[in-house]
């Protein structure tokens, strides 16, 4: 039977889940079932959750792992009474920080993922809208406002990476697909004219052709678009263009969106408008 891990919060649960998953990811040989329990913001809800935790301990034959970011002391006391290995993030880290900083924490629920400063929140929204408006080459007249323009063949990860950069860092990312329409008379991929004046903003994505085939097959099975020969040819042409024009690029095959984005930022020096949430 797998061990069960509970990520508990009186807010969204995003902090508890993010930190909990990061910690537990180091234990690849352990079969873990992870459950997020947000908005445990009353003693009654906490007691109900404790009953669930106790039943889980009996079912699994092992005590659950409990990782929480509960602020309210009364609710935390209820959670502490549950059978489980407990990691209380706030009490573990806030007390030493209070001592170091010489002041008390505000102990406010939901501070990490609240709207907070209006200008930061609106900048986040604007960046997401920018990514959506400038997705897949749909619009090109706003490229002067772009912080980065992702280029690559179809289905190599441009859209999700653009949205992640916008949502997590406030980076205004456009993306443009490299297609057969951009081939010259010799069958060589050339830089589209609309991108020529923005070469300093370009960042390329590439992908293993076999992986690309599998992704495209889900969209258009048994088509030329998803064939291995077509995918291999497109990837080869795109990488040749990157090298010819000295466009930095990254292979997305084995990297998550988070890794792609942070590696891109590290390599290009893109300025984050705010920290990830």
Residues in binding site for ADP: 152-159
3-state DSSP: the chain helix, strand, coil percent, rounded to 5?
A: 50, 15, 35
Cβ 109 vs Cβ 72: under 8 Å? yes
Q: Phi/psi zone of residue 65: left (φ > 0), alpha (ψ -120 to 50 degrees), beta?
A: beta
Binding residues: 152-159
DSSP letter string over 64-132? Answer: PEEEE----HHHHHHHHTSSSEEEEHHHHHHHHHHHHHTS-----TTTTTS--SHHHHHHHHHHHHHHH
Q: Which residues of 116-126 are buried (b: 16+ CB within 10 A; e: fewer)?
A: eeeeeeebbee
Place of tokens 């003693």: 43
3-state secondary structure of 150: strand
Distance CA 27, CA 21 (A): 10
* Phi and psi angles of residue 33, each rounded to the nearest 5 degrees, phi first: -110, 120
């Amino acid at each position: 039977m797998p061990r069960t891990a509970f990520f508990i919060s009186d807010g969204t649960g995003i902090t508890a889940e993010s930190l909990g998953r990061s910690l537990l990811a180091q234990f690849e040989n352990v079969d873990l079932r992870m459950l997020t329990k947000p908005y445990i913001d009353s003693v009654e809800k906490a007691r109900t959750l404790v009953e669930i935790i106790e039943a889980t301990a009996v079912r699994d034959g092992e005590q659950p792992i409990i990782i929480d970011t509960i602020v309210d002391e009364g609710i935390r006391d209820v959670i502490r009474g549950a059978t489980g290995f407990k990691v209380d993030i706030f009490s573990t880290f806030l007390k030493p920080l209070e001592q170091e900083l010489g002041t008390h924490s505000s102990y406010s629920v939901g501070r990490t993922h609240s709207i907070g400063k209006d200008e930061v929140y609106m900048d986040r929204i604007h960046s997401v809208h920018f990514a959506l408006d400038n997705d897949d080459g749909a619009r090109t007249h706003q490229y002067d406002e772009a912080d980065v323009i992702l280029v690559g063949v179809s289905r190599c990860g441009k859209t999700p990476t653009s949205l992640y950069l916008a949502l997590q860092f406030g980076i205004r990312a456009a993306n443009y697909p490299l297609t057969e329409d951009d081939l010259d008379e010799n069958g060589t991929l050339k830089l589209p004219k609309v991108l020529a004046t923005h070469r300093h903003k370009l960042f390329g994505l590439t992908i293993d052709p076999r992986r690309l085939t599998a992704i495209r097959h889900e969209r258009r099975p048994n088509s030329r678009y998803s064939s291995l020969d077509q995918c291999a040819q497109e990837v080869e042409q795109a990488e040749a263009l990157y090298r010819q024009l000295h466009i930095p690029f990254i292979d997305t095959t084995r990297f998550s969106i988070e890794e792609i984005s942070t590696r891109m930022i590290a390599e290009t020096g893109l300025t984050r408008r705010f920290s990830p949430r």
